[in-house]
Chain A
Amino acid sequence: MSEGWNVLEVVLRAVAVLAAFLVLPLLVGQTEHKVMAHMQGRLGPMYAGGFHGWAQLVADAVKFIQKEDITPARADRGVFRLAPFVALIPYLVAMAVVPLSPTIVGADVPGSALLVLAATGVGIIGTLMGGWASASKYSMLGAMRAAAQLVSYELPMVLAVASVALAAGTLSMVGIAEAWTPWWLLWQAPGAFVFLVAALAELQRPPFDMPIADSELVFGIFTEYTGLRFAFFLLAEYAGIVLFSLIFSVLWLGGWAGPFEAGLGWLWTILKAYAIAVLMIWLRVSWPRLREDQLQRLAWVWLVPIALLQLAITAVGVVMMR
C-alpha cells in the first residue's frame, strides 16, 4: 500500500513541477509584454482574452501549434529536431529541485545547488545543436557566439554560488535559504551582482543576446526554426528567466524569509523572484547589446575577479563568525 502512495506522490510532485514550469514562464512573458509596452509608451496586447490581453501568450501558443514544422533540406535532421528539447528539458529538471519553501519543493535533494548548476549548464548544448544542425550560416555564427559566451559566464556563476554555499555551509538550497540572514544582502552583494550578470548571459537576454542578435544574425540560432520547435526555444528562454530568478530569490534574498513565513513563505519566494524577473525585463528595455568580445572582457576582467574576491570575503566572514 505505501508503495502505491509513494508512486502517487512522485507523480503528483512531477505534475506540479510541470504545471509550474508551463505557467510561470507565461506569467513572465505576459509581464514582459506589458511592462515593456508601458515603458515604451505603448499599451501592449489589449485584445486576446478580453481583459488587457491576458491571453495573448495562449493565443501565441495556439498560433505556434498551427504553424508548419519545417526542417531545412540540408539540416542535420535528427539533431535539428532534437535541439529544442535539449534546450528546454534541463530547465525542467532544475526546476524540480528549486524550493519555494522548506516544504514546497519538487524533490528535496542534499546537493540541490550543485544539481541546478549542472542541469542548467546542459541547456546550452541545445542551442549549439540547433545552430550547428540548421545548415545556415547565420545559425552557425549564432552557435559559435553562444559557445564563446559559454566560457564567460559559467565560471563566474559557479563561483558566485560557491560563495553562498560556503557561507551557509551546505549545498542544499533549502539549507542555504534557512541559513540566510538580512546581513547577507550586504555581505553577499558582490556575488549576487556577478550571478545576475552571468544569468543574463546564460539566458542570452539583452544586453547579452549576441547569439540571437536579430539585427546582425537575422535570428541567430533560431533562424531556421518554425512552429512548435521555435516556441520551445522561446519557452526555454522564459523558463530560464523563472528558474534563475527563483535561484536568485532563494540563494541571495532568503527565499521564504518574510512576514508570516510559516504560511506564506512560498509567496515571498515567488514575489522576490518576480521582482528579479522584472529587473531582467527592465534591462532589456533600456540597454543596447554588447559585442561578444566585450562580454568576455567583462567576464574575465570584472566578473571572475569580483567572484573570487567575494569567495575570499565569505571565507573570512565564515571564519570570524564561527
Chain B
Amino acid sequence: MTETAVSHRSSRQRALTVGVGAGGLATADMVLNIGPQHPATHGVLRLRIVVDGERIVTAEPIIGYMHRGAEKLFEVRDYRQIVVLANRHDWLSAFSNELGVVLGVEQMLGMEVPERAVWARTALAELNRVLSHLMFLGSYPLELGAITPVFYAFREREELQAVLEEVSGGRMHYMFNRVGGLKEDLPAGWLGRVDKAIVNVRKRLPSLEHLLVGNEILEARTKGVGVLARETALSYGVSGPIARASGVDVDLRRDAPYLAYGELFGPNGPGRVVTREAGDSLARLEVLLEQTRVSLDIAEACLDRLIQLQPGPINVKLPKVLKVPEGEIYCATENPLGFNGYFLVSRGDKTPWRLKLRSASFNNVAVLTEMLPGQLISDMVSILGSMFFVVGDVDK
C-alpha cells in the first residue's frame, strides 16, 4: 500500500507542475480553510491548505487571530502586573509562564530567593507540566477519533488541579509567583495531599496508557506519520517534547538549569531527558507519556525536600515601587511545550522598556509548512494534534 501511495503521489505532483491532468483523470486543486473555527485547531489557528482530492499540496498556517498585543502591554505594566499578563499566552502552563518573568527580574535585581520558594516553585512547575501533558494526552486521541482517553486524562487533571487550587486559588491562571518567591506560604498539610494526589495519578496513569500504547489503530494512524527530521526541527527552532521526539536531545532543565533543576537532573536525581529518534506522531505521543512520569517523579522529589527543609520565609519583602536596574537579560525556561523565553530590557523604570516573548508554539507551528504537504487530510489532523500547541502561545 505504501509503495503504490508513493508512486501515486509522485505522479500527482508531476501533474501539478504541468498544470493539467497527466493522462488519467484531470484533477483540480481545492483550497480548504482549516479554521479559524475548526474542531482540530484548538482555538483559532487557521491553515489554508490546497488539496488535490484529500492529498495536501501546500499548507500555510495563518496566525494572529488571537493576537492580544501581550508584548506591547508588558511595556505599560509594572513587574507585578506583568505576571498576570505573562501567564496567559500558554493557558495550559500558566505557572511556568509566570516563572520566566520573575526569574528574569530576580536575576536583574540580583535577588536571592529563599530555598523553600525554589523547591516549592520547582514542584509546582512540574505539576503544571503534568497538567499540560495530560491535556494533550487526552485531546490528541480525541482528534484521532478516540473519545475515551480525554475523560481518563481529565480525571487525573482534576486530582492535581485540586491541590493547585488549594495552594494558589486558581485552577488555570495561578498567579502564585511573585518577584522574590511565592505569593504566600503553603497551607498546612498541603505537602501530604500533593503526595497523595501524585500517588493516585501515577497509579491510574496505566489505564490511560493502555488505551493508547499498543493499540493497532492508533499505531496505524501515528507510526511513520508526520516525520519531523532532526535537521528540520533544528532549523525551525522547534523545541520541547516535539524536538525531543525527533532526536534533539535538549532540555533547559538539564542544559541550563534554573530553580532546583541542577540538582534534580544531576547524578542520582530523578530527572532525565526523554528522547525518541523516530520523529513521527507516535514518538511525540510517547515522549509526552514518558515525560509525565518523569515530572511526577521530580515533583515527588521536591516534596520530599520541602518536608526536610527548616521553616523559613517563602518570599522576599519587596519595596513599594519595584524598579529593575538598567540592563538586559534573556531568561528561558523549559515549558511543557518547549522553550519559553523572555528578553527583558530595562531602562531602570518600574516598567520594562521592552519585554520580548519567545513562545514555544510559535516555532512548533511554523514547521507545519514543511510537514503537511504530501499528507492526507486525515494525517494532517494526526500531525496537527501531535504538535501540541496552544493558539494563545502562537499568537501571544
Contacts and interface: CB of A to CB of B under 8 A. Distances in A.
B-side interface size class:
20 to 34
Contact of A213 (B32, B145, B147, B217): B145
Contacts of B141: 288
Nearest to B207: A41
A284 B152 contact: no
B148 A286 contact: yes
A288 B378 contact: no
B189 to A, nearest CB: 27
Contacts, number: 81
B215 A287 contact: yes
A289 B377 contact: no
A288 B217 contact: yes
A216 B377 contact: yes
Given A215-B39, A217-B377, A291-B379, A207 B211 contact: no
Interface string A104-141: 00000000000000000000000000000000010001
Given A40-B151, A288-B141, A216 B1 contact: no
A297 interface: yes
Contact of B39 (A144, A218, A293): A218
Contacts of B378: 210, 213, 216, 291-292
A210 B152 CA distance: 24
A272 B268 CA distance: 58
A215 B220 contact: no
A288 B39 contact: no
Contacts of A289: 144-146, 217, 221
B1 A288 contact: no
Contacts of A209: 145
Contacts of B385: 215
A6 interface: no
Given A41-B152, A137-B32, A214-B39, A207 B377 contact: no
A285 interface: yes
Nearest to A140: B30
A214 B30 CA distance: 20
B221 A216 contact: no
B54 interface: yes
B135 interface: no
Contact of A286 (B30, B38, B39, B211): B211
Interface in A273-297: 284-294, 297
Nearest to A210: B378
Nearest to B5: A293
A39 B148 contact: yes
Contacts of A145: 54
B162 to A, nearest CB: 16
A67 interface: no
A262 B142 CA distance: 47
Contacts of A297: 1
Contacts of A240: none
Nearest to A148: B54
Nearest to A138: B32
Nearest to A206: B145
B376 A288 contact: no
Contacts of A40: 147-148, 151-152
Contact of B151 (A42, A141, A286, A293): A42
Is the contact region of chain B dominated by helix, strand, or loop, or is it mixed?
helix
Is the contact region of chain A dominated by helix, strand, or loop, or is it mixed?
helix
Contacts of A137: 30, 32
B39 A207 contact: no
Given A137-B32, A214-B39, A291-B220, A41 B146 contact: no
B49 to A, nearest CB: 11
B40 interface: yes
Contacts of A36: 147
Contacts of A141: 54, 377
A209 B217 CA distance: 13
B155 interface: yes
Contacts of B75: none
A218 B215 contact: no
Contact of B142 (A144, A210, A215, A293): A215
Nearest to B33: A137
Given A41-B151, A137-B30, A141-B377, A287 B146 contact: yes
Given A206-B145, A210-B378, A215-B145, A288 B5 contact: no
Interface string B341-353: 0000000000000
B218 interface: yes
B195 interface: no
B143 interface: yes
A289 B145 CA distance: 5
B246 to A, nearest CB: 23
B217 A216 contact: no
Interface in B81-111: none
Which 10 pairs, one residue from A and one from B, show the smallest C-beta to C-beta distance? A289-B145, A288-B146, A288-B144, A40-B151, A215-B143, A291-B378, A288-B145, A216-B381, A288-B217, A215-B40
16 contacts: A36-B147, A40-B151, A40-B152, A41-B152, A206-B147, A207-B217, A213-B378, A215-B39, A215-B40, A287-B146, A288-B146, A288-B217, A290-B221, A291-B221, A291-B379, A294-B221
Interface of A: 36, 39-42, 137, 141, 144-145, 206-207, 209-210, 213-218, 284-294, 297
